[in-house]
Amino acid sequence: MGSVGLLTAAAALVLCLPGDAVADGAGGDGGGGKGAHACAADQWPWGCLAECESSGDWHVNTGNTFYGGLQFWQPTWEAFGGLDFAERADLASRGEQIKIAKRVQAAQGWGAWPECAQRYGLIPPARTHVVRRGETLGEIAEKYHVKGGWRALYSANRSTIGPDPRKLPVGIKLRLPRKAKAHSRPESDD
């Protein structure tokens, strides 16, 4: 789960699913991967996210500090009103977990479930570039029109690159900042 975010009342009112499906999971197949997955018939997208996050076990408690079908982190569960239903998400009903999940999604977006939301097309795959021999951060930043140049690219990948931006290991995958625009199609490992 992602970190807890703040939400304005106006932002909560504009919650929509991809393809103009209504916020409660009903609606057509208008995108977001719904038609391509068997779990889509199970209250899209919540059944699919639960299938991915917890193998569809809405009452799972593996002791890893994430609970329930949508694997709520306890502070997130509490911050979004989960205690109104149960002490932890795994002790709440499926419907109650979905109610809290909708609040989380409205505040944090589908990135609150990054891997699973990407799997079902709710968020686009991360833009990446695999470093080739002889490339520099400056060249890569220029190729993808990274706002802020090599410094912004380094900042987004410092933990992967290490302390010296001039020593760019061949074969590492760099995450391109969201505002990057490519001249050509970016390389990715989809």
56-101 pLDDT per residue, tens: 999 999 999 999 999 999 999 999 999 999 999 999 999 999 999 9
- The 10s digit of each residue's pLDDT in 145-175 is 999 999 999 998 898 898 999 999 999 989 8
User: Which are the contacts of 141, defined by CB distance < 8 A and separation ≥ 6?
Assistant: 148, 149, 150, 152, 153
45-120 belongs to CATH 2.40.50.70: no
Most confident region among 22-26, 57-61, 114-118 by mean pLDDT = 57-61
Provide the 3-class DSSP secondary structure of residue 25: coil
Q: Which residues contact 6 (CB under 8 A, 6 or more apart)?
A: 107
Mean pLDDT of 133-140: 95
Is pTM beyond 0.75? Reply is no
CATH topology of domain 128-175: Membrane-bound Lytic Murein Transglycosylase D; Chain A (3.10.350)
Q: Measured between alpha carbons, how far is residue 108 from residues 6, 61, 65, 91 in Å?
A: 8, 23, 19, 23
Contact between 70 and 89 under an 8 Å Cβ cutoff? The reply is yes
Residue 185 has pLDDT above 70, yes or no: no
Q: Is the pLDDT at 5 greater than 50, yes or no?
A: no
Say how far apart CA 157 and CA 161 lie, in whole Å.
Answer: 6
CATH 1.10.530.10 maps onto the chain at 45-120
User: Is the pLDDT reported for residue 51 higher than 70?
Assistant: yes
Query: Whole-number mean pLDDT of the chain?
Result: 78
Q: Of 23, 55, 24, which is closest to residue 39 (Cα–Cα)?
A: 55
Q: Where in the chain is the domain with CATH 3.10.350.10?
A: 128-175
9: Cβ contacts below 8 Å, ≥ 6 apart: none
